[in-house]
Amino acid sequence: MRYAILSDIHANREALEAVLADMAGQGIDGLIVLGDIVGYGADPGWCCDAIMTRVAAGAICVRGNHDTAAAARADGMSANARRAIDWTRAQLSLDQQGFLGALPLVARLGEVALVHASMNEPEAWSYVTSDTRALPSFRATDARLILCGHVHIPLLASRDPGGTVRQIGFGIGQPVPLLPSRRWLAVVGAVGQPRDGSPQAGWAILDSAANTLMFRRTPYDVAGAAAKIRAAGLPDDLATRILTGR
3-state SS of the chain? CEEEEECCCCCCHHHHHHHHHHHHCCCCCEEEECCCCCCCCCCHHHHHHHHHHHHHCCCEECCCHHHHHHHCCCCCCCHHHHHHHHHHHHHCCHHHHHHHHHCCCEEEECCEEEECCCCCCHHHCCCCCCHHHHHHHHHHCCCCEEEECCCCCCEEEEECCCCCEEECCCCCCCCEECCCCCEEEEECCCCCCCCCCCCCEEEEEEECCCCEEEEEEECCCHHHHHHHHHHCCCCHHHHHHHHHCC
pTM for the structure as a whole? 0.96
Under a CB-based contact definition with an 8 Å cutoff, are residues 156 and 167 in contact? yes
| Through-space distance between the first and last CA atoms of the chain, rounded to whole angstroms | 33
Q: Give dist(CA 85, CA 80) in Å, integer.
A: 9
Q: State the sign of the Cα–Cα–Cα–Cα dihedral 58, 120, 128, 138.
A: negative
Domains of the chain by residue range: 2-244
Q: Give dist(CA 78, CA 161) in Å, integer.
A: 40
Question: Which amino acid is it at 163?
Answer: G
Q: What is the mean pLDDT of each run of 10 residues along the chain (246 residues)?
A: 98 98 95 97 98 98 96 76 90 97 97 97 94 96 98 97 95 96 97 96 97 98 97 95 93
Q: Give dist(CA 45, CA 215) in Å, integer.
A: 27
pLDDT, position 72: 82
pLDDT, position 75: 67
CB burial of residue 230 (10 Å; 0-12, 13-18, 19+):
middle
pLDDT, position 81: 84
Separation of CA 123 from chain center: 16
Q: Give dist(CA 55, CA 60) in Å, integer.
A: 6
Q: Which CATH architecture has domain 2-244?
A: 4-Layer Sandwich (3.60)
Q: Give dist(CA 219, CA 209) in Å, integer.
A: 28
